[in-house]
């Protein structure tokens, strides 16, 4: 009984690792690297041992903007589109990383990290792996092409949202030695301004009683503040109880 069960499982296992393997594969961003997604690159797990039945077939990676990936059909994916055509806005996807399927082998040593970085090249050739656009959302899919077009393809990846360029990056390259002091000074000034603002608001709300100014200052301030007061505040200030205190 136990033996039959095991054989059954083996059989199911070997069926699953068949031709359908490619079509169920979902490209993944690696979790093994800090910086797996930056403002112009992302790092994928190599699809090792996925295409091993077609050693010599061409495998491309298609990189598409998330907003248009779902409208791409097999005839779009079957014709390689160069990076420049994506960069100049003519297409919203492109093909890159052409290799033969055998370049994603089954046997790899555990000591090497099997990843591919997308967007890492300065472009010199037509189908280069050029930089991506910051703050864009992408999806990728591997496609196998023969001479007539698409032969097989993986699933689309999940969406990958690139980082935004940081608007405050200039502050990091202030002249050395100064930046720390300037940051502290700016912080102190902001805090002082905030306190002043709170005092002003409190003064207006509570009629400037004992909040921030000394009692001796109140009378002088009162005259200066007159203009800013609504008629009701004005009246309450003339209230005998207030004048007593
Ligand atoms: C990137 O790597 C971190 C861990 O290093 C992981 O938590 C995160 O999910 C990864 N990003 C994606 C999109 O998988
Ligand atoms: C990516 O595309 C899908 C489907 O078109 C959409 O639902 C989703 O909001 C998009 N994600 C981003 C971050 O734009
Ligand atoms: C695929 O989509 C393109 C537009 O993106 C369209 O011109 C073409 O006719 C479509 N082909 C098929 C087979 O649906
Ligand atoms: C790789 O690691 C797995 C377990 O993580 C181990 O079973 C296997 O023997 C290792 N292979 C090599 C070539 O070291
Ligand atoms: C980044 O993208 C999001 C969503 O598309 C957008 O709301 C935001 O304004 C963008 N930020 C920048 C700095 O472009
Ligand atoms: C290319 O692949 C398609 C789909 O599998 C197949 O119909 C076609 O015959 C193949 N063409 C060649 C030249 O092998």
pLDDT score, position 187:
67
3-state helix, strand, coil in the chain (%, to 5): 40, 20, 45
Tokens matching residue 156: 């689309």
192 lines ligand 2 (CB under 6 A): no
Q: Print burial letters for 156-173: b (CB count within 10 Å at least 16), e (below 16).
A: bbeebebeeeeeeeeeee
pLDDT score, position 168:
54
Given a cut of 50, whether residue 176 has pLDDT beyond it is no
CB-defined site of ligand 6, < 6 Å: 146-148, 151
70 lines ligand 3 (CB under 6 A): no
> What's this model's pTM, rounded to 2 decimal places?
0.67
First and final CA of the chain: distance in angstroms? 96
Q: What is the pLDDT of the chain when averaged over all its residues?
A: 77
Q: Whose CA is nearest to atom 10 of ligand 1?
A: 31
Contact 242, 236 (CB under 8 A): yes
For 147-152, what is the mean pLDDT?
A: 94
Question: How far does residue 114's CA lie from ligand 4's centre (Å)?
Answer: 14
Q: Phi-psi bin for 227: left (phi > 0), alpha (psi -120 to 50), beta?
A: alpha
Using only C-alpha atoms, the chain has a radius of gyration, in whole angstroms, of 33
Nearest to 98 by CA among 82, 115, 74: 82
pLDDT score, position 233:
42
Confidence grade of residue 107 (pLDDT, cut at 50, 70, 90): confident
Q: Whose CA is nearest to atom 6 of ligand 5?
A: 135
Given a cut of 90, whether residue 123 has pLDDT beyond it is yes
Given a cut of 90, whether residue 149 has pLDDT beyond it is yes
């Amino acid at each position: 009984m136990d033996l039959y069960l095991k054989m059954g499982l083996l059989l199911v296992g070997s069926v699953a690792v068949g031709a359908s393997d490619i079509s169920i594969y979902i490209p993944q961003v690696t979790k093994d690297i800090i910086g797996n997604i930056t403002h112009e690159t992302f790092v994928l797990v190599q699809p090792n041992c996925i295409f091993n039945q077609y050693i010599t077939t061409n495998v491309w990676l298609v990189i598409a903007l998330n907003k248009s990936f779902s409208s791409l059909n097999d005839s779009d994916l079957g014709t390689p589109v160069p990076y420049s055509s994506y960069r100049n806005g003519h297409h919203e996807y492109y093909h890159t990383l052409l290799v033969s399927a055998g370049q994603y082998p089954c046997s790899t040593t555990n000591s090497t990290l099997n990843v591919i970085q997308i967007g890492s090249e300065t472009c010199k050739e037509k189908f280069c792996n050029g930089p991506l656009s910051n703050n864009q959302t992408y999806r990728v899919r591997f496609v196998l092409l023969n001479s007539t077009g698409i032969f097989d393809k993986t699933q689309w990846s999940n969406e990958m949202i690139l980082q935004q360029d940081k608007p405050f990056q200039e502050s990091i390259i202030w002249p050395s030695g100064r930046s720390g002091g300037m940051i502290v000074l700016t912080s102190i000034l902001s805090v002082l301004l905030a306190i002043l603002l709170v005092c002003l608001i409190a003064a207006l709300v509570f009629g400037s009683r004992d909040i921030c100014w000394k009692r001796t200052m109140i009378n002088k301030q009162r005259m200066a503040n007159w203009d800013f007061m609504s008629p009701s505040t004005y009246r309450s200030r003339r209230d005998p109880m207030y004048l007593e205190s």
